[in-house]
Chains A and B, each alone.
Chain A
């Protein structure tokens, strides 16, 4: 088909070129020396200068003018046979346009004398002869009007403007040049003179642009006479080297001549046409002559490149023709098939772009005058449209060459397209009305559409089809739409012909039905009508336009004149065509002859009906062209369907892959639009057939998915159109033949529906923290009738960032389980919840579980390690099945995964950073889980310590402490791990530790308690903490020495418990120099004493002698069982753990030494009476061993006492210090205190020494 279209385009281009008729310029030699044919320089110059460069303003119709450039001219010597024939027959209006538009008198003289003697007389003779033909002048026989009434009324037809061209040869000497100048000046003096005023008028009016003879409606002779000289002499100067000067002047003068001739003839033609048109109702009037004259006028317009006017002439010709036919029908000559045209098989091929295929002008000439109706409407209509179409095409090309805007060019192209579309449509109806055979009509429509579409895709005259196709229509939706309509109509007709001729027999019945139902959008309702009634372009031509045209005509001619003119015209036309002298005759060749300008026989589109192969080729090509045009104008559905409808042919030709591609497009289109009936009935079964042939596994699965998705909505037999078992077996067979890869994943559509929750709800949100393993559960409903094994499944999560999809991450683990297997589901979900998700998925995969989508309901677990904070939306499930990838989209209610910043899941903190110098003791560690932590294991390590057992006390658990099982030693560390198990909320771990007895108190560096907690929260995780430990003595003891008398000292022993649990002091002995110091109170009354954590035990001893040096203290105690351990109390945890561990009752002894203060001044206080509130009592201090001048100071707590007397001074000789003291409060008050010291060096101040308090270090014994 492409070849035919190319040939059509070439033919149109060639015909357009051949119809370029140049204006004829007659050359007359007036010299003794022959120039034409003898002077090569002049001949060469004339052959190359055949276009008038300067623009010419041609007056056309109704005062309008056209500015024409590059008018082509053809120089013919007066002796030329062609010119002579033109002259002989130029009297007929049919041939006016062929007459020369200018005469050029060539003068070539050597000197002035030669000119005067020879050239001037000859020149004058010729000019006078020519001027005798001027209006009012007497014509000679050769140029007499040929009886045409039109030419008789317009004698200016005979006028041929002339000019004198002086040829100045190459001058070698100044004298010669001078001679040439003189000759040229003399010629100008002779022929620019007012002697030739009758023609000068036209010259000057042409030059000035005023209304000339072609005032077109008025008599040019009536124009204002111009008295003056005219410029009609020019020269060509041949320079050395054969260069020629003077073309500009010559071109200007020729342009003037052409303008005058054109306008005069135009006026004459219009008058002639008007007369003929108005006489068409008179008896004997023949359309043939009118056809010739009107055609000649159109030719003249075409010569002058005024295409628009030429188109108008043909349009008017068609109107008159229609009117003539109607008049004939009204007179009883009803239209018959015979008048309209025969159903000649040769006419089946339209010639709507080939006006010269039937030489209608020759037909006119062959018929006798008055034999109206010799032309068949079938031919005339096509001829007229072809002429108009070619002219419009030339208009388009000319606009493109002139650089007209794209919009203007498009507009012209649209006009042609619409005109062609309307013509085909209306002409088809005409054929049907005239009872043409359906096959004939179909063939004609097919070829006409194809021809029109071919030329509409041409870009320019010279451009061949390959370049033109796809460019002319690209981006032009209107033109593409018309092209699509044409191709579709053409395609439809071809299918019909194929069916008629049994070329289309193997197409499936279904396809045959629908492929002829494709849109044919011509004719469309006119824009704005919005009505149901289609516009009928032929009706427009037949009625309204004709009437309006008729109104413009003016009745003024007589029947006889018309008859004479017609006869003369027909004879003249015959004479010229008989001679066959120019391209015009070549154009009017009978059908079947060679295309002018082409060595190839004329192409015919109907040749495709000769064989099935050719037919199929055309059907495919047409469908492709139509589809492309449809796509360009936005008709995607039509495009897809056009192509897919030919899948039968492709399959028959073995191009199954291409058929599959087209059918896939069609299936996708139907599926997406929801036209399931079409999908199931028309496209899908055929697609499956192709896929089975090709072994296309992805395609088969895709088709099956599509089918299963829509199957539920189909009714009746449509639900059985696809053989699922065949697909299944094919898939399984093919599945064993190795892996295959696909460029894109197969969409499973609704065959596998994946959703987050059956109840739906877009607010379904999974919260997770960074580094969590988030597990999403989906329901997966499979419509597949068989289990589908999948690999590499992943749910794609799209991350949203500011409303836009930022990135997509796949889940790392996916597990499928049948929804009905609830036990299995529960076990796996529990495993996921409590264990490590990766381990759970890996174990399942190891067992071969979780990789099969069973028919019906399934549950899918998809887990992802949340490595980045953000919000994620599950979008689709991807996996591989049968060796290729597939995907299932998730609905919008697929929920959301929100990943926030990571927070500690478990915290762990040792309760105290101290270790006690005890054999056995407990270290408590507080642990808290936010959420749940599973399979917790805890261990602790510190150098030198041995961890013996561990106990757990969980928050809210009122039972006894839970002894933790030993999970075995950790690698490289001599410390066991204890199994804590699952942890929710808070718990206290109490570890029993041995080996701290010899720890050095107070050392903080180097002693570390390393704690480690392993747990599972999605992943197996470990939390490690390290704490600096310091060894602490369990008791803090101090001794204060008080002077009770001169030889007695009270020893105050204070023991405070630093242990976090309660102890019982069983014994406390104070020995001095190996002897026990007796207590102030019996020990039996005080001990055993219970010491709560932080409590202090104070014991008093009386020391007789102060000469002992040092005192030894030995303290024996037990851990107190349950002392102070109220439920929820501070030491409840310890108590419970210690009770459980059984470390009670092991008596421990601590010992320490303290030095007795050296002998020195001391004072003993005594009161003068009972102390009463607000009453003064004298307190007396007796100072021993004091030196004279020993300073003292009495201090008391402010607000408790009022001291009266000297509170500061020096001790007197009597060694007594007395003060009156008034207690201000009742109760046990700290007594005022006497401080003794040396006298200060300055200001008489006394520096006193406080009583000594000594710290006692108690260390374990043994």
Chain B
């Protein structure tokens, strides 16, 4: 369902990028993670366009040929990004729930006194929590 989850810092640097099994529509092979990095980086322009949005949840940022990208902007300007396959019909409420769960996990991760702000989030517990959020949503 979800192909990629990412947390991008206020300075637009990637803090956490997690890709999931997603086969290419044409080749049927596993997508190269670099493609998701590329998509994520492109989506930063869309975040800037929608920066004046009052709601943290920015909705669909843009669709590509194969994927759709959703965004969520926290009050500290951290950006949460979800990439889904275009053929998946994802409900808005589901996406919003995923983002809220990710936001909560992100807050806990950066509240860790051993975490250095602005650096990559390398916490195993955060990674596990993100996986749980994604897989539980995909199951439902």
| Distance in Å: Cβ of B85 to nearest Cβ of chain A | 13
Asked whether B35 lies within 8 Å of A513 as measured between CB atoms, the reply is yes
Q: How large is the interface on A (under 10, 10 to 19, 20 to 34, 35 or more residues)?
A: 35 or more
In the complex, the answer to whether B59 meets A532 with C-beta atoms within 8 Å is yes
Q: How close is A641's CB to chain B, nearest CB, in angstroms?
A: 7
CA distance A78 to B32 in the complex (A): 76
Contact (Cβ within 8 A) B11 A674 = yes
Q: Which one of B63-71, B108-116, B123-131, B132-140 is at the interface?
A: B63-71
What per-residue 1/0 map shows which CB atoms of B33-48 lie under 8 Å from chain A?
A: 1110111011111101
Interface residues of B in 46-101 (CB under 8 A from A): 46, 48-49, 53, 55, 57-60, 62-68, 70, 90-92, 95
Residue of B nearest to A521 (CB): B62
**A560 interfacial by beta-carbon distance below 8 Å:** no
Whether B13 pairs with A678 at a CB distance below 8 angstroms is: no
Task: Check A1145 for interface membership: any CB of B closer than 8 A.
Answer: no
Known: A678-B34, A681-B34. A519 touches B46 (CB 8 A): yes
Minimum C-beta distance from A431 to chain B (A): 15
B14 x A674 contact (CB < 8 A): yes
Inter-chain contact A532/B60, CB cutoff 8 Å = yes
A518 to B59, CA, bound (A): 18
CA distance A674 to B66 in the complex (A): 25
Q: What residue of chain A has the Cβ atom nearest to residue B38's Cβ?
A: A514
Asked if residues A518 and B41 are in contact (CB atoms below 8 Å), the reply is: no
B40 to chain A: closest residue by CB = A675
With the chains together, A161 CA to B13 CA distance in Å? Answer: 75
Interface centre among A638, A641, A675, A713 (most CB of B within 10 A): A675
CB distance A670 to B41 under 8 Å? Answer: yes
Which B-chain residue is minimally distant from A496 (CB atoms)? Answer: B65
Once the chains bind, are A532 and B92 in contact (CB under 8 Å)?
A: yes
Q: Max chain B CB contacts within 10 Å: which of A492, A630, A678, A713?
A: A678
Say if the beta carbon of B12 comes within 8 Å of chain A: yes
In the complex, are the beta carbons of B42 and A519 less than 8 A apart? yes
Q: In the bound complex, how far is the Cα of B49 from the Cα of A637, in angstroms?
A: 12
Question: Which residues of B lie under 8 Å from residue A675 when comparing CB positions?
Answer: 13-14, 37, 41
Once the chains bind, are B38 and A678 in contact (CB under 8 Å)?
Answer: yes
Which residues in B have their C-beta under 8 angstroms from that of A682? 34, 38
- Would you give the shortest CB distance from A480 to chain B, in whole angstroms? 11
Give complex CA distance A637, B95 in Å: 25
- Mark contacts of A492-517 with chain B using CB atoms, 8 A cut-off: 1 yes-contact digit, 0 otherwise: 10001000000000000010011011
A636-B45, A670-B41, A678-B37 given; A532·B91 CB < 8 A? yes
Please report which residues of chain A, range 648-707, place their CB below 8 angstroms from some CB of chain B when the two chains form the complex: 670, 673-675, 677-678, 681-682
Q: Which residue of A lies closest to B32 (CB)?
A: A513
Q: Are A520 and B48 in contact (CB under 8 A)?
A: no
Which A residues are in CB contact (< 8 Å) with B63?
520-521, 534
Contact across chains for B14 and A517 when beta carbons are under 8 A apart: no
Query: Which of chain A's residues 402-454 have a Cβ closer than 8 Å to chain B?
Result: none
* Residue of B14, B34, B92, B120 with most chain A CB atoms under a 10 A cut-off: B34
A577 and B137 alpha carbons, distance in the complex (Å): 63
Report chain A residues within 8 Å CB of B58: 530
List the A residue with the shortest CB-CB distance to B95. A532
- Chain A hits for B62, CB < 8 A: 519-521, 524
Q: Are B70 and A532 in contact (CB under 8 A)?
A: yes
Question: A634: CB under 8 A from chain B?
Answer: yes
Residue contact B34 to A514, C-beta cutoff 8 Å: yes
> Across the interface, do A638 and B42 meet the contact criterion of CB distance under 8 Å?
yes
> In the complex the two chains form, what is the Cα distance from A524 to B48 in whole Å?
16
A239 located at the interface, meaning its Cβ lies under 8 Å from any Cβ of chain B in the complex: no
**Closest B residue, CB atoms, query A642:** B42
**A525 at the A/B interface (Cβ < 8 Å)?**
yes
Known: A634-B45, A673-B12. A520 touches B64 (CB 8 A): yes
Interface string of A530-542 (1 = CB under 8 A from B): 1111100000000
**Does the CB pair B38–A517 fall under 8 Å?**
yes
A529 CA / B96 CA spacing, docked (Å): 13
Q: How far is the CA of A530 from the CA of B58 in the complex (A)?
A: 6
Quick one: which of B45, B92, B95 contacts A638, CB cutoff 8 A? B45
Please report the C-alpha to C-alpha distance between residue A1174 and residue B99 in the assembled complex, in whole angstroms: 116
Nearest A residue (CB) for B50:
A530
Chain A residues with Cβ under 8 A from B44's Cβ? Answer: 637, 673
- Which of A510, A673, A682 counts the most chain B CB atoms within 10 A? A673
Q: Most B CB atoms within 10 A — which of A525, A634, A682?
A: A525
**A531-B59, A532-B90 known; A673-B41 Cβ under 8 A:** yes
Closest to B94 in A: A532
Shortest distance from the beta carbon of A1008 to any chain B beta carbon, whole Å = 70
From B43, which residue of chain A is reached at the shortest CB distance? A519
| Chain B residue contacts of A1172, Cβ below 8 A | none
Give Cα A828–Cα B99 distance, bound, in whole angstroms.
Answer: 59
Is A591 interfacial (CB-CB < 8 Å)? Answer: no
Find the B residue at minimum CB distance from A636: B45
Q: Is B45 touching A635 in the complex (CB atoms < 8 A)?
A: yes
Q: How far is the CB of A25 from chain B (nearest CB, A)?
A: 54
Report B-chain residues with C-beta under 8 Å of the C-beta of A670. 41
> Per-residue CB proximity of A767-792 to B under 8 Å, as 1/0?
00000000000000000000000000
**Smallest beta-carbon distance B99→chain A, Å:** 11
* A597–B68 CA distance with the chains assembled, in angstroms: 45
Bound CA span A630–B42, Å: 12
**Cβ of B57: which chain A residues have Cβ within 8 Å of it?**
530
A525 touches B60 (CB 8 A): yes
Q: Are A519 and B91 in contact (CB under 8 A)?
A: no
The reply to whether B45 and A510 contact each other, CB–CB distance below 8 Å, is no
| Selected contact of A677 from candidates B11, B34, B46, B60, CB within 8 Å | B34
Q: How far apart are B137's CB and chain A's nearest CB, in angstroms? A: 13
A699 to chain B, nearest CB (A): 23
Task: Looking at the assembled complex, report how far the CB atom of A617 sits from the nearest CB atom of chain B, in whole angstroms.
Answer: 23
- Taking a contact as CB atoms under 8 Å apart, the answer to whether A678 and B41 are in contact is yes
Contacting pair A530 B13 (CB below 8 A):
no
Complex alpha-carbon distance, A1156 and B11, angstroms: 106
Query: Is B59 a contact of A525 with CB atoms below 8 Å?
Result: yes
A518-B64, A520-B63, A534-B63 as given contacts; A510 in contact with B34, CB under 8 Å: yes
Q: B64: which of A481, A519, A531 is its contact (CB, 8 Å)?
A: A519
**Residues of chain B with a CB closer than 8 A to A532's CB:** 59-60, 68, 70, 90-92, 95
Distance between B119 CB and nearest chain A CB, rounded to angstroms = 9
Within the assembled complex, what's the spacing in Å between the Cα atoms of A516 and B86? 14
CB < 8 Å neighbour of A529 from B17, B41, B59: B59
Known contacts A514-B34, A674-B14, A675-B41; A533 and B65 CB within 8 A of each other: no
**B12→A634 contact, CB < 8 A:** no
Given contacts A634-B49, A635-B45, A673-B12, contact A516 B65 (CB under 8 A): yes
| List of A residues within 8 angstroms of B17 by Cβ | 677
Q: Tell me the complex Cα distance, A673–B43, Å.
A: 13
Give the interface centre of A516, A682, A713 by most chain B CB atoms within 10 Å: A516
- Minimum CB–CB distance from A1202 to chain B (whole Å) comes to 97
Given A513-B34, A532-B91, A674-B11, the answer on whether A637 and B65 have CB atoms closer than 8 Å is no
The reply to whether A534 and B49 contact each other, CB–CB distance below 8 Å, is: no
- What 0/1 readout, one digit per residue, does chain B (12-25) give for beta carbons within 8 Å of chain A? 11100100000000
CB neighbours (8 Å) of B66 from chain A are 517
Are A518 and B42 CB-contacts (below 8 A) given A530-B57, A678-B34? yes
- Contact partners of A635 in chain B: CB under 8 A: 45, 49
Contacts A/B (CB < 8 Å), 8 sampled: A514-B34, A519-B43, A520-B65, A525-B59, A532-B59, A673-B44, A675-B41, A681-B34
Q: Which residues of B are in contact with A by a Cβ distance under 8 Å?
A: 9, 11-14, 17, 32-35, 37-39, 41-46, 48-49, 53, 55, 57-60, 62-68, 70, 90-92, 95, 120
Across the A-B interface, give the 3 residue pairs with the lowest CB-CB distance, nearest first: A674-B13, A532-B92, A635-B45
Residues of A within 8 A of B (CB): 481, 492, 496, 510, 513-514, 516-521, 524-525, 529-534, 630, 633-638, 641, 670, 673-675, 677-678, 681-682, 713
Given contacts A673-B13, A674-B14, 15 further A-B contacts (CB under 8 A): A481-B49, A516-B64, A517-B64, A525-B59, A530-B53, A530-B57, A531-B60, A630-B45, A638-B45, A641-B41, A670-B41, A674-B9, A674-B12, A675-B13, A677-B14
